[in-house]
Amino acid sequence: QQQVKQSPQSLIVQKGGISIINCAYENTAFDYFPWYQQFPGKGPALLIAIRPDVSEKKEGRFTISFNKSAKQFSLHIMDSQPGDSATYFCAASIVNSGSARQLTFGSGTQLTVLP
C-alpha cells in the first residue's frame, strides 16, 4: 500500500531530447507528489511537485503529468541538457496520524544526457 514504483531504472537521452520518468502508486490517501533531483554526494533537491486535483504542472523545462484514475504520474524534462544528468526520485506523501508529512520514495532513475 505504501510502495511507489518508478521506471526506468536508468535512462540515456541525447542533448535536446525529452526525458520521461514514470511512477505508479497504490495508496489513494497520498495527497502530494514531489520529484527530487539528486547529484552524487548531495542531498535530494525538490524539483517540482503536484497535488492530485491537478492533471499537469509545468515549471520551465520540467512538467509533471498526473493521472489520478490510473494512479500514475510522470516527469517530463524537455530540451534535456548534460547538466540535467542526475538521479531523479519520485515520491508520494501523506500526513500521518501524528500530523507528520511522510514521503515514500521510488527507487530512482539515473538520467544521463549525452552532449
Partner 1 sequence: ETGVTQSPTHLIKTRGQQVTLRCSSQSGHNTVSWYQQALGQGPQFIFQYYREEENGRGNFPPRFSGLQFPNYSSELNVNALELDDSALYLCASSPGPGNTIYFGEGSWLTVV
Q: Which of 66, 80, 106, 113 binds partner 1 (CB under 8 A)?
A: 106
Q: Which of 47, 73, 85, 108 binds partner 1 (CB under 8 A)?
A: 108
In this structure, the strands spanning 56-59 and 33-38 are unpaired
- Residues 41-60 touching partner 1, rule: CB under 8 A, are 41-46, 49
17/38 with CB nearer partner 1: 38
Characterize 80-89 residue by residue with b for buried, 16 or more Cβ atoms within 10 angstroms of its Cβ, and e for exposed. beeebbbbbb
Of the listed pieces 13-21, 30-38, 64-72, 77-85, which binds partner 1 according to CB under 8 A?
30-38
CB of 111 to partner 1, least distance (A): 15
Residue with cell 506523501: 93
Of the listed pieces 13-21, 57-65, 76-84, 94-102, which binds partner 1 according to CB under 8 A?
94-102
Q: How far apart are the first and last CA of the chain?
A: 40
- Give the sign of the dihedral formed by CA 21, CA 27, CA 33, CA 37: negative
CB of 21 to partner 1, least distance (A): 13
Contact call for residue 89 and partner 1 (CB under 8 A): yes
Q: Are 100 and 1 in contact (CB under 8 A)?
A: no
